[in-house]
Amino acid sequence: MKKKSILIIGAGGHAKSCIDLIEQLGNYQISGIVGLPSEIGRNVLNYKVIDSDQNLAFHVQNCENALIAIGQISTASLRIQLFEKAIDAGYNLPTLISPSATVSPHSKIGRGTIVMRGAVVNAGSVIGDNCIINSQAIVEHDVEISSHCHISTGAILNGKVSIGTGSFLGSGAIIKEGVRIGPNSLVGMGLAVRKDLSSGSKFYGEELK
């Protein structure tokens, strides 16, 4: 079977994890990477940065698929900007799931979302577009994760949790069952969230910043 070509958008650390997953899947051929102008010519895991994302639309004629391979912590704005730019240029943004992830057939996952090694997505969960469900994260039953969110390594979202658009959950964060986290919020590493957080919250412990 002929492999489909895919363009990697981003040339940093998260791009390495994405490339590794794509190689494991075996059904896509990475045609190249686009990054910052200063990164052109660099090699990332033996794939060349061929252009900057300023020229993203030019490459759709030779590569119909793309993946946003840039992480997020404090803001999702760059991932959102590049996702919308890729859509406008005519790219297809496939959903990519690691062979070692466990994803229920009774869940829904949006376009451009990547589910990394060892992650679990249980029945009834709905995950939006352009999300990162990172390694070993657990998304329990009936969780709703809006678009452009990054759920970091080892985070645990218990049943019926709701995560608003553009939010970031740090590594090892634990969200109590039924808790709602508003859009554009940030939860620090290793923290337990037991109460709802409003839009734009920065949670680093007992106090909101």
The CATH number of whichever domain residue 191 belongs to comes to 2.160.10.10
User: In terms of domains, do 58 and 119 share one?
Assistant: no
Mean pLDDT of 6-21: 96
Tell me the pLDDT tens digit for each residue of 169-192: 999 999 999 999 999 999 999 999
User: In terms of domains, do 57 and 101 share one?
Assistant: no
What amino acid is encoded at 142 in this protein? D
Give the structural domain span for 105.
Answer: 95-197
User: In terms of domains, do 161 and 128 share one?
Assistant: yes
CA torsion angle 120 124 130 132 (round to 10): -20
pTM of the full structure: 0.95
Does residue 204 fall inside a structural domain?
no
How many domains are there within the chain? 2
Q: Which residues of 109-143 are buried (b: 16+ CB within 10 A; e: fewer)?
A: bbebbbbbbbbbbbebbbbbbbbbbbbbbbbbbbb
